Structure 1
Amino acid sequence: MTPADAVSRTAATSSSSPTQARPVLSARGIEAWHVASPVVPLIALAFTFEGGAAQDPEGKAGTAQMLARLLDEGAGPHDSDAFQERLAARAIELSFHAGPDAIGGSLKMLVKHTDEAIELLALALAQPRFDQAAIERVRGQMLAGLRYQQNDPGVMASRRFFAEAYPGHPYGRPSSGTIESVSSITRDDLVAMHRRLLARGRVKVAAVGAIDEEALVRALDAAFGALPEGGELTAVPATSITGLGRRIVVDLDVPQSVLRFGTDGVPWRDPDFIPAYVLNHILGGGAFTSRLFQEVREKRGLAYSVGTSLVSHRAASMTWGYTATKNERVAECLTVIADEIARLTSDGPSDDELQKAKDYLTGSYALGFDTSTKIAHQLVQIAFEGLGIDYIARRNGLIGAVTQGDIRRAAARTLGDGKLLVVAAGRPTAM
């Protein structure tokens, strides 16, 4: 490699840093966060639309997920087989997904196939066919999955947890629906939800790869420009966990119980989210180093795996956790978890413990940006949360600045008095 080549390669690598994202605005008002990376002739696109499973019609849970699964099952002049054949012929990767608050997807293609890939994305977004044969095939797949999950204690515990945490609220409904609700979804339901959710005025886009700003502007309008601006979504009321302190059993004849437990949290946009994130790493998010892993698994052998995570939705947030243990040791396991939460809340972590958590969280952050697709998805999630295009550059500094006082404040807000909503799927001898 010549010195000139080395300089060129260094410049190309530098330009692909996610901290170098730049906003790009198309003629039709569609904004994308753009990271130029000419090193490899690939382009990764990620996008998300405001409004997801929380917008499912009453009694039709699973509509948003079915919609997402049908978008590439035929569009415009192409039925499902023809559409998939066009993707495969150019090695274009196109996928869609739906969550509680959003429906989105990703596109990955070689630069030389950009025009065709964007054309197929535009058709999938604006002109999905919703052929009855495709609807019934996807419905059958969803129903088969739901029937299988009826014997999965992890799924059953999670479903019951959210139903008890948010009764009568959209977040209390399973995003994948139920056998009854999925069976009742009609083509008209899908067409109506498509019309409501896929709107260019509510889309966030990130593009990473070998595409310049001028080409990206054209691609944005070609992909999303045919969509309507978008009307109002159904308001999702703010909510918090109901039933803190309750312990609920889902009766399943299995030798060990699967546990789900949680309490209220803080959303990603909250100033205390970063301290809560560090706190969660210390409590249960730190894999092999967390307090719960050490106390529940390593010292007592109560469970193979235990952990906690932060959940941030548009209208609710929580700290929630998981584990599984023998039926006769459920009460002991829950006591250990409660004691550790109380100890962390009252005493806080040691200075060494806090520093190690911050070191890990800052040092490992770059691992989430090792491919163009990961970068695009991270950027679009940050855009969706409204954290600002410079968040990636600021994030490690925010974590590094967390103090013991911040941790204590976050613990008071997220762990509070230690009361948890607990659901056990199994046959615990005591709770």
Structure 2
Amino acid sequence: MLKKIVLAQLALWLVVFASFAQAAPKIEHWTTANGLRVYYVPAPELPMLDLRLVFDAGSARDGAKPGLAMLTNSMLDKGATGLSEDQLAEQFEAIGAIFSSSTSKDMATLGLRTITLEQEQKAALDLWLKVIAKPDFPQKDFERVQKLTLVGLQAEKQDPASLGGKAFYQALYGDHPYGQPENGTEETIQALKVDDLKAFYQQHYVAKNGLLAIVGAVDRTQAEALAEQVAGVLPVGEAAAPLPEVKALTAAKTVKIPYPSAQAHILVGQIGNKRGDDDYFTLYMGNQVLGGSGFTSRLMKAVRNDRGLSYSVYSYFGPLAQLGVFEIGLQTKLEQADEALKVVQDVLGKFQQEGPSVEELEASKKDITGGFPLRTANNSQIVDYVGVIGFYHLPLDYLDTFTGKVNALTREQITEAFARRVQPDKMVTVIVGGDEK
């Protein structure tokens, strides 16, 4: 009941104070005595606090055990200091706090959201630190999570989108860590033991391999005290070694996966860009015109509006610590797959050579800059950004300078970047659907 009251009150405060959010949040940074990097944004308008621990412990660190990072992260709240999963959940609920966790290819996160009333904040932080510092990894819960993961992997065999996505990454990355599925394979998940999770946790969930993002109604002195509390429960450890560089494709590759469906799922793409590289903004803006702006994008107009070949088509760059992906995706009728693919290739080829028009560029600038304040309108969104900024070592003024950098882009810069970075003749194409040939 307390949680519902608190969240309702916070929702009201968000409506009241959202109109005052104008300038991008200013990020302060320091490092604790044991090496935990801290990124702090004061947000005094609302009586709430968001904490986000981010570790270099994503699936790219799985090694020969794909799925290890994901299972480790998902097990942390299944029991700690003798408290069961249900007991932990009930205690977080009772004080109106929210625990969260996630993994991606690069990172693993642990989050806490709480009100800043002294008693509730202290109780929430104490409970969160128990989960972080002393997870129990109960055998029964591990077996349950393991079985659920195996059930999910079985279900993915009947999901053409999952089949296509995994084949796409494997074709792009080969034996690079990014080529491994984040949720593992049936063989690797079945082979995992609790001791594997404990060892991964002990190696990667350490101060020098992580950072803490703090956003909320606490001043600098209070933030420093919070950071020392969090750092104090973490072993010092060592930062993970840099991931290997990604090798560029040298030739086009097509992968066809038989699947009994009237639809073909198509993915086309190549190796993309890193977080923070020099072409980030030019590629981001160019993609907005190409396939990132929904119904107004070039791909949508050509594939859906003009020819009715698909309900939806998209493109995006997914930058990572090493080179991420550039991906175009759509679904279409099996008998139209070749035609739809040809249209996508033609649109991409023309855009790669000519870039956006002046009108397209200006419309995309307005769309991006106009929507940007809404993407940093609350603490939860800000702490996400701050965690990413810290993890990828982006400039502390990244949010403050974002719209200025977008507005400064020229058509010529975008065209040059796409001509240099996008190679339509060296792309991976994955088609799921149809009979085996």
TM-score by length of 1: 0.92
Equivalent residue for 1:250? Answer: 257
Spell out the pairing of 1:204-283 with structure 2 (5 A cutoff): 204-233=211-240, 235-242=242-249, 244-283=251-290
Query: In structure 1, how many angstroms separate the alpha carbons of the residues matched to 2:35 and 2:266?
Result: 47
Equivalent residue for 1:352? Answer: 359
Q: Is the 8 A contact 1:338 1:418 kept in 2?
A: no
Equivalent residue for 1:5? Answer: none
Q: Deviations over 1:10-29 (max 9, x none)?
A: 99986895432323554545
1:129–1:17 distance in 2 versus 1, CA, 3 Å: farther
1:40, distance to aligned residue in structure 2 (A): 2.2
1:63 aligned onto 2:68: yes
Structure 1: 5+ residue stretches without partners:
1-8
Query: In structure 2, how many angstroms separate the alpha carbons of the residues matched to 1:412 and 1:196?
Result: 42
Aligned partner of 1:74 among 75, 79, 83: 79
Secondary structure, counterpart of 2:80 in structure 1: coil
Query: In structure 2, how many angstroms separate the alpha carbons of the residues matched to 1:67 and 1:18?
Result: 35
Q: Is the 8 A contact 2:249 2:270 kept in 1?
A: no
1:288 aligned onto 2:295: yes
Equivalent residue for 1:84? Answer: 89
Equivalent residue for 1:114? Answer: 121
Q: Size of the alignment, in residue pairs?
A: 421
Query: In structure 1, how many angstroms separate the alpha carbons of the residues matched to 2:237 and 2:192?
Result: 23
Q: Is the 8 A contact 1:15 1:37 kept in 2?
A: no
1:403, distance to aligned residue in structure 2 (A): 1.3
Query: In structure 2, how many angstroms separate the alpha carbons of the residues matched to 1:95 and 1:186?
Result: 24
Equivalent residue for 1:130? Answer: 137
Query: In structure 1, how many angstroms separate the alpha carbons of the residues matched to 2:300 and 2:231?
Result: 46
1:409 aligned onto 2:430: no
1:12–1:36 distance in 2 versus 1, CA, 3 Å: farther
Query: In structure 1, how many angstroms separate the alpha carbons of the residues matched to 2:239 and 2:44?
Result: 39
Equivalent residue for 2:9? Answer: none
Q: Deviations over 1:87-139 (max 9, x none)?
A: 12112111111111111122101112211221122221221100101101111
Equivalent residue for 1:157? Answer: 164
Aligned partner of 1:171 among 178, 183, 204: 178
Q: Deviations over 1:276-317 (max 9, x none)?
A: 111111111111111001000111111111001111122222
What amino acid does structure 2 have at the position aligned with 1:97?
S
Tell which deviates more after alignment, 75-84 or 227-236: 227-236
Equivalent residue for 1:39? Answer: 45
Q: Is the 8 A contact 2:73 2:101 kept in 1?
A: yes
Secondary structure, counterpart of 2:79 in structure 1: coil
1:54 aligned onto 2:60: yes
Tell which deviates more after alignment, 264-273 or 254-263: 264-273
Secondary structure, counterpart of 2:266 in structure 1: strand
Query: In structure 2, how many angstroms separate the alpha carbons of the residues matched to 1:252 and 1:384?
Result: 39
Aligned partner of 1:376 among 383, 389, 399: 383
Tell which deviates more after alignment, 271-280 or 412-421: 412-421
What amino acid does structure 2 have at the position aligned with 1:181?
T
Aligned partner of 2:342 among 330, 335, 338: 335
Aligned partner of 1:326 among 323, 329, 333: 333
Q: Is the 8 A contact 2:215 2:379 kept in 1?
A: yes
TM-score by length of 2: 0.91
1:141 aligned onto 2:148: yes
Query: In structure 1, how many angstroms separate the alpha carbons of the residues matched to 2:255 and 2:21?
Result: 52
1:345–1:414 distance in 2 versus 1, CA, 3 Å: same
Query: In structure 2, how many angstroms separate the alpha carbons of the residues matched to 1:418 and 1:410?
Result: 16
Query: In structure 2, how many angstroms separate the alpha carbons of the residues matched to 1:110 and 1:70?
Result: 25
1:153, distance to aligned residue in structure 2 (A): 0.5
Query: In structure 2, how many angstroms separate the alpha carbons of the residues matched to 1:402 and 1:170?
Result: 33
Q: Is the 8 A contact 1:12 1:38 kept in 2?
A: no
Query: In structure 2, how many angstroms separate the alpha carbons of the residues matched to 1:200 and 1:26?
Result: 9
Secondary structure, counterpart of 1:116 in structure 2: helix
Q: Is the 8 A contact 2:172 2:271 kept in 1?
A: no
Secondary structure, counterpart of 1:247 in structure 2: strand
Q: Is the 8 A contact 2:99 2:111 kept in 1?
A: yes
1:400 aligned onto 2:418: no
Q: Is the 8 A contact 1:16 1:36 kept in 2?
A: no
Equivalent residue for 2:27? Answer: 21
Q: Deviations over 1:314-358 (max 9, x none)?
A: 222221111000011111011001101111122222111111112
Spell out the pairing of 1:195-206 with structure 2 (5 A cutoff): 195-206=202-213
Query: In structure 1, how many angstroms separate the alpha carbons of the residues matched to 2:357 and 2:435?
Result: 35
Secondary structure, counterpart of 2:112 in structure 1: strand
Q: Deviations over 1:192-225 (max 9, x none)?
A: 1001111111222222221222222222222232
What amino acid does structure 2 have at the position aligned with 1:149?
E
Say what the alpha-carbon RMSD is for the aligned residues. 2.2
Aligned-residue sequence identity (percent) comes to: 28
Structure 2: 5+ residue stretches without partners:
1-14
Q: Is the 8 A contact 2:166 2:181 kept in 1?
A: yes
